[in-house]
Amino acid sequence: MTTAGYRRIIVKLSGEALAGDMPHGIDQATVDRFAADLVAARALGVTLGVVVGGGNLLRGATAASHGADRTVADVMGMLATVMNALALESAIERLGASARAMSAVEMPQVCETYERRAARRHLADGRIVLFAGGTGNPFFTTDTTAVLRAAEMGADAVLKATNVDGVYSADPKRDPSARRYDRLSLDEAIERRLGVMDLTAFSLARDHRIPIIVFSIREPGAVESVLSGRGRATIVGG
Ligand code: UDP
């Protein structure tokens, strides 16, 4: 048990974070840093799953706004998440820890297909499971996937990694009067339309009483800090 009291968590890592300082793509140094962070968090004794986004490579809605077919673009977005998950899986295993990428989109030559009971077994065996391919359906996001997998895996919380240290009333980079919340309810997050997650993700979290911990991934060791109750974060729900 960690200081913050979480035994089983799902970390949501956006694709954008994996690009590091680059506008697009996968920055290997950043992947290696996140892998080390996840391995350190796992060493606290917490059971750890990770839902990886794909926005560093392709976002369906953006591609559709340039004329692509939305459902095809979303499938491409889901494939992007698989690439990111493979990069993380490989980086975690290079550190000597055990990881398993599982894709909601079947591609047996590439990685295991997501199956709830198999994923639970991997977690129970101490592996870090990388949930790839989103929900496997177009028109959803990997934020929603994170809450969905948290519900399926019986996780205590979703740790949503961002570039800022919590949820603010407005964009703190643009509005100096923006207020930072330490805690807020999922109802408040939905009513105030706080953009940190989409409404589908928030309402699923509310229905299943899964708190979302919003924290900054910018500093090395961030996941471990939040789990041990040291790091700054906003707790939404719970
Ligand atoms: N996506 C999808 N269904 C899902 C999850 C993701 O179609 O269940 C697609 C969608 O096109 C999305 C892309 O995959 O834009 C990448 O995911 P997301 O935008 O959530 O990644 P992030 O913003 O976290 O990097």
Tens of pLDDT, residues 63-104: 999 999 999 999 999 999 999 999 999 999 999 999 999 999
- CA 201 – CA 154 distance, rounded (Å): 16
Higher pLDDT, 169 or 212: 212
11-66: per-residue pLDDT in tens?
999 999 999 999 999 999 999 999 999 999 999 999 999 999 999 999 999 999 99
Q: What angle do CA 157, 198, 83 make, to 5 degrees?
A: 75
124-162: per-residue pLDDT in tens?
999 999 999 999 999 999 999 999 999 999 999 999 999
pLDDT at 151: 98
Mean pLDDT across the stretch 183-205? Answer: 92
- CA 77 – CA 60 distance, rounded (Å): 6
Task: Please name the CATH architecture into which domain 8-218+226-236 falls.
Answer: 3-Layer(aba) Sandwich (3.40)
Say how many Å lie between the CA of residue 110 and the centre of ligand 1.
Answer: 19
Q: Delimit the domains of the chain by residue range.
A: 8-218+226-236
The finding on whether 55 has its CB within 6 A of some atom of ligand 1 is: yes
| C-alpha closest to that of 14 among 201, 182, 175 | 201
200 to 55, 91, 182, 195: CA distances (angstroms): 18, 31, 22, 12
| Residue identifier of the C-alpha nearest atom 15 of ligand 1 | 59
Report whether pLDDT(208) > 50. yes
| C-alpha closest to that of 144 among 155, 153, 157, 135 | 135
The finding on whether 162 has its CB within 6 A of some atom of ligand 1 is: no
- CA 14 – CA 82 distance, rounded (Å): 12
ipTM: 0.99
153-170: per-residue pLDDT in tens?
999 999 999 988 999 988
pTM above 0.90, yes or no: yes
Say how many Å lie between the CA of residue 2 and the centre of ligand 1.
Answer: 30
| C-alpha closest to that of 52 among 86, 97, 8 | 86
pLDDT at 116: 98
